[in-house]
Every structure is written in C-alpha cells, then in structure tokens.
Amino acid sequence: MLGTIVNTCTIIIGSIVGTVLHRGIKEKYKRVLYDGLGLASLAIGLNATITNLPKSQYPVLFIISMALGGIIGTRLDINGRFHRLVDRKKSSTEAENSSLGSKSSLADGLSTAILLYCIGPLSMLGPVISALKGDNTFLFTNATLDLVSSIVFASTYGIGMVLAAPVLFMWQGMFWLVAHVSSSAVSDALMSELLIVGGLMITGSGLALLNLKDCKTLNFLPALAVPVIWFVIKSFI
C-alpha cells in the first residue's frame, strides 16, 4: 500500500503548507503546476495504453469498453452530477461566508475536497494496479495532484483539511484490499485491458488539466467494468 500511504501523506503535507501559506498560491503558479501535471498525466496515460495494447488478446475490447462505458456514463450523467454536487458545495460555502463574514465552512470545504480526492480514475484504478502488479505510478501521480489541491484547499479552509487524508486512505485501502484478496482471480489479460482503458481515461484527464479538451472523463468510469464483465462471461463459456 505504498502508493496509498504516499498519497495520504501528500494531503497531510499539503494541508500544512496551505495553512502556512494562508493567502494561497498565485494563479500563475497554480496554472504552471497544473500544466506540468497535465503533461505528466498525458505521458503516463499514453504509456499505459501503448505498452499494453500489444498484450491485448481482444484488440477491439477497449474500443467497445470506451464506447459502452461512455454511453452509460453519459446516460447517468456521472460527470455532470459530480460537478453539480461540487458546485453546490462551493455555493453553500460562499453563501455561508457572506452571512458569517470571512469565516469559511470547514465542513463544506472537507466534503468538496474529499469528492475531488476520491472520485476519479487515478484514485480508483491506482490502488487496484498497486495491489495486483505492485506498480504505484498512478497513485504517485494522484498524490502529486492532491498535494497541489490540498495546498489550495488548506489556504482557504485551514488545517482542518487534513481530516480528508484518513478518508482517502480508507477509500483507496478498500480498493486495494478487494483487489489483493481477489488477485488470484484476475488474469494478466484482464489487467492489460484495464490498463488500456485506464490509460485512455488518464490521458483524457491530462487534456482537461491542460485546458485542451474537456473529455468528461468521469462519464467513462463504467468503461472499467466492461472488460471485467466480458472476462466473467467468457469464463462460463
């Protein structure tokens, strides 16, 4: 669980740094940090996809997965629901700030941060890859993103934002534990398919960080279930 431990520690460190830098980070520095992370996400995502494509036993499965997953996710409006929920949390915080003065609501800040830290391909697929292959690349990338985000959050809401760290640890730990327990049932072929699909989703996240294209990556989360369902069906045929 090294990747999850590192990810948890970066939120703690970021919260401390953000509290010290209570005036926040200048926008130009935030932009360059996210640009760098966007480029890194592109490289990691493309590498995961390109490296595993030759290992795929079903060359069109990832296309079907992305298509079906995208349609299901769009129908469920996962991306829209998530962003509306985050926006609602931010709006309630701003309303409370205006009524109570400059005091920010820690509860609203925490709920928003936890959503952003936990919901996404890096935070959900990363622990699975870590448990099954011992590869923490996805989690280390997520840790870097969360470090920047936690600094920004803590500069607004204070040291209490450190409470998001144990929530992330339990969230990622759950995925890690389930993957670890079921490792014998997960074949290398299935792992390759998950890495191809996950790599494409991380590439989409990189494009969004660079403000090049909003691929609404969260709508593709159901795509990760398609290879699993296919291999389960195949095992009974």
| Lookup: tokens for 170 | 């339990």
For the residues 156-161, what does the mean pLDDT come to? Answer: 84
pLDDT at 95 over 60: no
Residues sharing a CB contact under 8 Å with residue 115, sequence separation 6 or more, in sequence order: 82, 85, 86, 89
Tokens 């339990």 locate to 170
Environment class of 16 (CB within 10 Å of its CB; exposed 0-12, middle 13-18, buried 19+): middle
Residue 28, pLDDT > 90, answer no
Output DSSP code: residue 22: T
Please give the Cα distance from 122 to 140 (Å, whole number): 9
Q: Which residue type occupies 221?
A: L
Where does the pLDDT of residue 50 fall: very low under 50, low under 70, confident under 90, or very high at 90 and above?
very high
Q: What is the pTM of this model?
A: 0.77
3-state class percentages of the chain: helix first, strand second, coil last, to nearest 5: 85, 0, 15
Q: What is the predicted pLDDT for the residue at 120?
A: 82
User: In this predicted model, what pLDDT tens digit does every residue of 127-155 receive, in sequence order?
Assistant: 999 999 899 999 999 999 899 889 888 88
Distance between CA atoms of residues 136 and 10, nearest Å: 14
- Confidence band of 235 (pLDDT split at 50, 70, 90): confident
Alpha-carbon Rg for the chain in angstroms: 18
Q: Identify the band that residue 208 occupies on the pLDDT scale cut at 50, 70 and 90.
A: confident
Q: How far apart are CA 177 and CA 172, in angstroms?
A: 9
Give pLDDT, residue 102.
41
Share of the chain above pLDDT 90, in %: 48
Higher pLDDT, 9 or 160: 9
Distances (CA, A) of 169 to 127, 175, 218: 10, 10, 21
pLDDT value, residue 101: 43
